[in-house]
Structure 1
């Protein structure tokens, strides 16, 4: 078999188990290139990090002292802290990035593709399960806040952050 006829298989998946299973299944087939996301693939192929964001209107990098406020919610981007009415909220790095994007002005509907690119720094490949799972965990933590914001689904499009409206007694 000539060198030019050896197949190259490229696997892009954030799930290590998926990558490992693929390697086992394709054993002896040829070269297999594995990476966690599109950004990593670009870096491997080009030898540098991607210079252009997939969405040019993406939120620019924040200055070290900048905070994002949404009602009584304050997200300190640099210190990686979130507070609701002065009380700290314990979030994972992923949940923090997701909430930061949803709460950043202008607060709007974030399409799945754009939110995925902004939070995971990679291209959306059509599988919303990772995004839905992260939103579900974030919603559980926000639900524990008295009168806290909610992540609203805009069916077939994406998500937006909304403040809870408490009816007057």
Structure 2
């Protein structure tokens, strides 16, 4: 099979051992693309992230404030009381969605489509894991907002008692 005519194999797994095993087993078969998740695959395949056209889940285009929290999606930075927070791209995207006016409940489906750009297939593990990491970082902020779970539905951002939620 020539490289120009053969299939391209795509391996998507968060487990590095699985990806390495697939690469070893398919060595010489043809091109193999290996990545940890769909977001990473999208970055590999497309220069620009896919648009959320028609889904009503577009990210904010300008900085958005939620009390002392400022999310600047174009600048890829989140600050709390003027100090930058060390958040991953996924955590920044989740937070940007949660503070997008009107601040309300985000279903698992809408968050998944907005942040990962794919169809929600009922597996919430990747979303719950990312949200757990974001919560851990937000807990370090004195008086900072908290992510609240609405079981079986989704998430929303809630202010603490000394945060106006503005």
Taking structure 2 as the reference length, the TM-score comes to 0.70
- Picking from 91, 100, 106, the partner of 1:95 is 91
- For residues 49 and 68 of structure 2, what CA distance do their matches in structure 1 show? 36
Alignment partner of 2:145 out of 137, 149, 154? 149
What is the Cα deviation at residue 53 of structure 1? Answer: 3.7
Q: Residues 61 and 102 of structure 1: is their aligned pair in 2 closer, same or farther, counting only changes over 3 Å?
A: closer
| Counterpart selection for 1:110 from 106, 113, 128 | 106
In 2, Cα distance between equivalents of 1:50 and 1:81: 17
Measure, in 2, the Cα distance between the counterparts of 1:60 and 1:82.
Answer: 14
RMSD: 3.5
Greater C-alpha Rg:
1
Conserved in 1, the CA contact under 8 Å of 2:11 and 2:33? yes
* Contact 1:72–1:84 (8 Å) recurs in 2: yes
* Structure 1 residue aligned with 2:63: 67
Gapped runs of 5+ residues in structure 1? 1-9, 28-32
Following the alignment from structure 1 to structure 2, what is the Cα–Cα distance between the partners of residues 12 and 113? 24
Name the TM-score, length of structure 1 as normaliser. Answer: 0.69
1:30 aligns with none
Contact 1:152 1:162 in 2 (8 A): yes
